[in-house]
Amino acid sequence: MSRPVGIEIFYWLDSWHDDQSSVFHKAAEAGFEGVEMSFVAGTDVKVNRIARTASSLGLGVLCSTGLTPSMDISSPDADVRASGIYHLKWCLDQAASLGSPILGGVTYAPWMGFPQGDLAGHRERSAQSLHTVAEHAASVGVDLCLEVLNRFESYMFNTVSDCLAFIETIGHDSVKVELDTFHMNMEEEDLAAAVRQAAGQIGHVQVAANNRRAPQYGHIDWAGFAQALDDVGYDRWVVFETFPNSGVQTGRDTYAWRDLSQDLDADAAGAAAFIREYLA
Residues marked as catalytic = 147, 241
Q: Which residues of 174-187 are buried (b: 16+ CB within 10 A; e: fewer)?
A: bbbbbbbbbbbbeb
C-alpha to C-alpha distance for 212 and 235, rounded to whole angstroms: 23
Q: Which of 13, 89, 3, 1 is nearest to 241 (CA)?
A: 13
Q: How far is CA 173 from the centre of its chain?
A: 18
CB 62 within 8 A of CB 36: yes
Distances, alpha carbon 149 to alpha carbons 110, 111, 141, 146, 152, in Å = 12, 9, 25, 9, 8
CB 126 within 8 A of CB 156: yes
Based on its alpha-carbon atoms, the radius of gyration of the chain, rounded to whole angstroms, reads: 17
| 3-state secondary structure (DSSP) of residue 178 | strand
